[in-house]
Amino acid sequence: MASLYIHIPYCEKKCIYCDFYSIENMNSMEHFLAALEKEIRMYAERFSQSDAIDTIFFGGGTPSLLPPSTMGRILTALHSNYQIRSDAEITVETNPGTVDIEKLRGYRSLGVNRLSIGIQSFHPHELAFLSRIHTSEEAVQCVEDAYRAGFENISVDLIFSLPNQTLERWNENLRRAIALQPKHISAYSLIVEEYTPLFMMVQNKTVSPLPENLDAEIYESTIGMMAEHGYQQYEISNYAKPGYECHHNKNYWNHSNYLSFGPSAHSFWKEGPTKGSRWWNVRSIAQYCESIGKAEFPVAGSEVVDKEKMFSEAIFLGLRTGELNVAMLQQLYGVDMLTTHGEKLKSFSDDDLLRIKDRHITLTRKGFLVCDAIAESLL
């Protein structure tokens, strides 16, 4: 199993909370696309005979700014250079306000079969605060158009714990999202990332983050409402109808191989010429294009992921997905968690944070609230 990720580094307008690399000026688009196609070919010389590709993900930035002709150009490059399964999951991150039904039909005709629609909120003042370019009406229209365009696998993104947000207001967001009947919902707590406009607002005290106890209350309420409507929590912020988990993200969390293209994109491969390596591209379109123009990989940095680090990440990522397979961890890393961490695990179990059964460690709803703290303690 392996995945491909394509980073489209353009936005119509940057959101105040986003720390992913993107720019608002699209004048460099043609230059970027030529470099992207060349990078895809360059890596194919190393990896085209490796694992078959079972997921492709267009992220950004705002991939839905691309017309179907450009999306098709990129997909052609991928299909020409890699072994892509006929049933591969192909996702495009989509912002309401950047697509209409004809564009969505164009994506669907190219083989795109999953949309991740960034709604974030249905409240006008929250959308304005987040610098989103769409209205709540456009968000609803986008989902309805996606269905009419032939998409079945639709995910929507929401953000909670906005400054001054109440539990009631958040629950209304969640109810409106559920009413659209997407197969998948991602509900993220607002994170204040360094170097973003939101970070500066918090530093200047013009914005105050929501208190931790209210954030926890909203999160616990979210888990309950999702379960009530048939959405299974399969990761700390992700919920899906049975069979509609995001396979691309699961590949990341399971330490599967993935190649990523575009400025700031991160890759990981366990075998072959880059055995056990993680690397990332330069965070600049100009530098990215310049490197590829010289037939050089646009890598900014790399690290070797040794067995110890792999084990640590397996614990952290496994807990974020709600479960640790003790037998598998022992087979891969030679560590029996029930023996080496038995006392701590029993303490967490006694506090109703996790359950241990048949050599599986499973988080409870209460445990998900302190998932990262449990992982840190075990490591």
Q: How far is CA 186 from CA 119, 334, 356, in A?
A: 10, 34, 27
Check residue 274 and give its pLDDT: 59
In terms of DSSP bridges, do strands 257-261 and 2-8 run parallel, antiparallel, or are they unpaired?
parallel
Q: What is the dihedral of CA 367, 372, 377, 379, to 10 degrees?
A: 130
In-domain check, residue 278? no
In a shared domain, residues 215 and 331: no
User: Of the candidates 209, 225, 251, which is a domain's last residue?
Assistant: 251
Say whether both 203 and 313 belong to one domain: no
Say if residue 340 is in the same domain as residue 213: no
275 domain-assigned: no
Give a yes or no: residue 219 inside a domain.
yes
CA atoms within 13 A on the CB side of 38: 17
Give me the helix-helix angle, 29-47 and 68-81, nearest 10°: 20
Residue 337: closest CA among 307, 317, 314: 314
226 and 317: one domain? no
Q: What is the CATH number of the domain that holds 151?
A: 3.20.20.70
Residue 25 lies in a domain: yes
CA distance 131 to 134: 9
Q: What token pair was written down for 278?
A: 């993680």
Same domain, 204 and 352: no
Query: Do 265 and 292 touch, CB atoms closer than 8 A?
Result: no
Does residue 152 form part of some domain?
yes
Give the helix/strand (H/E) hosting 43: helix 29-47
The answer to whether residue 142 is domain-embedded is yes
The pair of three-digit structure tokens given for residue 90, joined into one six-digit string: 């192909």
What's the CA gap between 222 and 158, in Å, rounded?
11
Q: What is the pLDDT of residue 272?
A: 61
Which pLDDT tens digit goes with each residue over 332-353? 999 999 999 999 999 999 999 9
Same domain, 244 and 340: no
Domain that holds residue 108: 2-251
CA distance 94 to 66: 10
The distance of Cα 271 from the centroid of its chain, to the nearest Å, equals: 24
Cα gap 349→364, rounded to integer Å: 9
Pairing of β 53-60 and β 84-94: parallel
Q: What backbone phi and psi angles, to 5 degrees, belong to 342?
A: -55, -45
pLDDT score of 276: 74
Per DSSP, the three-state class of 121 is coil
Considering the domain architecture, whether residues 245 and 312 belong to the same structural domain is answered as no
Residue with tokens 């204040």: 192
Instruction: Give pLDDT, residue 275.
Output: 63
Inside any domain, residue 282 = no
Q: Which long-range contacts (CB under 8 A, 24 or more apart) does 210-217 make?
A: 210/161, 210/162, 210/163, 210/164, 210/165, 214/161, 214/167, 215/160, 215/161, 215/189, 216/369, 217/167
User: Does any domain span residue 118?
Assistant: yes
Considering the domain architecture, whether residues 23 and 146 belong to the same structural domain is answered as yes
From 251, 286, 317, the end of a domain falls on: 251
For 172, residues 6+ apart whose C-beta sits below 8 A from its C-beta are: 122, 123
Q: Which residue has 């690290």 as its token pair? A: 303
What total number of domains does the chain contain?
2
Residues 358 and 242 in one domain: no
Please tell me the predicted confidence (pLDDT) of residue 273. Answer: 57
Beta pairing, strands 232-235 & 238-240: antiparallel
Give the separation between CA 47 and CA 53, rounded to whole angstroms.
Answer: 11
To 5 degrees, how large is the angle CA 300–CA 302–CA 303?
160
Could you report how far apart the first and last alpha carbons of the chain are, in Å? 28
Q: Which residues of the chain have pLDDT under 50?
A: none
Angle 294-297-302 (CA atoms, 0-180°, nearest 5)? Answer: 145
Same domain, 161 and 27: yes
Domain limit, last residue, from 251, 267, 283: 251
Residues 76 and 159 in one domain: yes
Same domain, 91 and 164: yes
Q: What's the rounded Cα separation, in Å, for the pair 374 and 314?
A: 13
Residue 157 · residue 188 · CB < 8 Å: yes
